[in-house]
Amino acid sequence: MEATIIKENTNAPVREGDGPRINQEIRVKEIRLIDENGENKGVVNIKEALLLADEAGLDLIEISPQAVPPVCKIMDYGKYKYEQQKRKNEAKKNQKVVNIKELKLRPMIDVHDYEVKVKQAKKFLSQGDKVKFTIRFKGREMSANDMGRKVLDNLVEDLENVCKVEAEPKVEGRQMMMIVAPL
């Protein structure tokens, strides 16, 4: 059984945009054809497929160009483009963008300042955002990393019913960071 390799005409006109090739832009000898009713007609000659599409008053659209032979469908090109755009918009609508809000603290934070940060974190988490806590150490505070760890542990305790720890506290240079996500 021999496999026939059909090379595309490299002199074919370059199509504007990134849409599929249609009608005379399809430059192969044979294609796998799906008619306007969705029935598989099998492998047919490109000229025969173009004739069938013309008789139906529709376009021949290359659906799967990487297949051997390429899969083409007889349908209205405008309708095809509309359906593609509709699918794209639907996918975009279902996407959820998660923002990361950053709250900066110090290891020697006062009680009221700490409460304000907790309140802000609860607000961000209720809006569906992740919160990145950053504790910045200055001077000799670097030798007392446990103070910063204690502040982050207290934050996790105070926010345990509204968040989960996504990234455990880690030290990078003069900072200690932790990321929490809403439940």
In the chain the domains, ranked by start, together with CATH numbers, are: 23-91 (3.10.20.80), 100-182 (3.30.110.10)
Coil, strand, or helix at residue 158? helix
| 36 within 8 A of 75, measured Cβ to Cβ | yes
- Rounded to 5 degrees, φ, ψ at 8 are -80, 150
What single string gives the DSSP state of each residue in 15-26?
PSSS---BGGG-
The residue behind tokens 């945009």 is 17
Token reading at 141:
């505070």
**β strands within 106-154, DSSP E:** 130-136
pLDDT per position in the chain (183 positions), as tens?
A: 455 454 444 443 344 557 788 888 888 899 999 988 888 988 999 999 999 899 888 999 999 888 888 999 999 999 989 989 999 998 888 877 778 999 999 998 999 999 999 999 999 999 989 999 999 999 888 887 888 899 999 999 999 899 899 989 999 989 999 999 998
- pTM score above 0.75: no
Residue of 180, 10, 2 lying closest to 98 (CA atoms): 180
pLDDT computed for residue 19 by the predictor: 74
Pairing assessment for the beta strands 40-45 and 30-34 based on DSSP bridges: antiparallel
For the chain, the first-to-last Cα distance in angstroms comes to 59
In Å, how far from its chain's centre is CA 11? Answer: 35
* Whole-number pLDDT of residue 16: 52
